[in-house]
Amino acid sequence: MPPAPINPTRNGLEDACFIAPRWPSAPDLSSAQAAWIYAGLMYRITCRHWMPGHAATFAFWHYRNLQPGEPHDHDHHELFWVTRGSGLHWVDGQPRPMAAGYLVLVRPRDSHSFSTAPGSPGVEFFNFAFRSPLWQALRRRHPRLAGQFFDHRDIARRECRLSPASLERLRVLAADLAAGAYDGLTAESFLLGVLTVLANLPHERLTPPGTPRWLAEALHQFRSYPEFAGGVQRLVRLAGRSHEHTARACRRHLGCSPRDLVQDARLNWATAQVASTEKKILEIALECGFENLGHFYQCFRRRHGMPPHAYRTRFQARQTHLV
């Protein structure tokens, strides 16, 4: 998001891809109604000139710079979560590692910027920004929120690692925002949904009771991109046991084979990519570990009852209907 008073290449986002429904590309700031205040090495993103009636904004970013951009702060609240890649989230000068599944709550006045890890294709993340009075209103209506989430001063208490299942829940929750609905009701509904997901993370169970800890931890890692692209061999390596031992444990505690787990993880990720991106189907298949496009189509059709292109068309048509 380049600030108006300075050259866009100075803030480290010149290679970013900005996708916001109903909004033009980021450099066209007059159309995007963005306003920036620049002071030395700090600039501020303000919501004062958001489009009339907008209580929030929602955007997808692909950040590629190895060096951190110039820090910025806000006059509003925001949160973002990473779907792919790895790098550092610099908050008040502290480098915080971020990778797929990383979610952070950003307070007004937090000074932050980003950098991509060497060897990473970049960091892809979704950003949701909203006017601060919404948070204050929710705190008054829901006493459980007071002193929690955005109220924490320590950044470590405002960041977490989400499982693929939780990431999928966020994708579904964001459907109306992705369709271009930025009104107060939509913003409040999404924010409450996210906070509910975060509040219930301690109770999230990804494996059946009795599953050995080593297997549960291996699966938690394996279900994140790009771990599952490594197939059964990668799962066995994460488990730290022999292939035979891992296979027996999977069948006993999960009722399936390691190969079944691999395919499930790959299809979960591929489904989200087909629905929420414009990537070519071949690219998605290769990224998640399918070496044969025909086999990918067969597996996708078996799960969803239709090929990837038809699934994307139907999903996008549903989103358009929501506008």
Closest CA to 101 of 87, 82, 121: 82
Which domains can be identified in the chain, with CATH numbers? 8-203 (2.60.120.10), 213-322 (1.10.10.60)
Q: Are 111 and 155 in contact (CB under 8 A)?
A: no
Least confident of 64-68, 96-100, 166-170: 64-68
Q: What's the CA gap between 50 and 194, in Å, rounded? A: 23
- Give mean pLDDT, residues 171-180: 90
More confident residue, 169 or 3: 169
Confidence bin at 99 (pLDDT 50/70/90): confident
- Average the pLDDT over 8-17 and give the result: 28
pLDDT tens track for 193-209: 999 999 887 666 667 88
pLDDT value for 299? 94
Q: CA 248 → CA 115, 206, 216, 222, 229, distances in Å?
A: 42, 19, 14, 18, 22
Answer whether residue 260 shows pLDDT above 90.
yes
**Is the Cβ–Cβ distance between 75 and 48 less than 8 Å?**
yes
Report residue 7's pLDDT band, with 50, 70 and 90 as the boundaries: very low
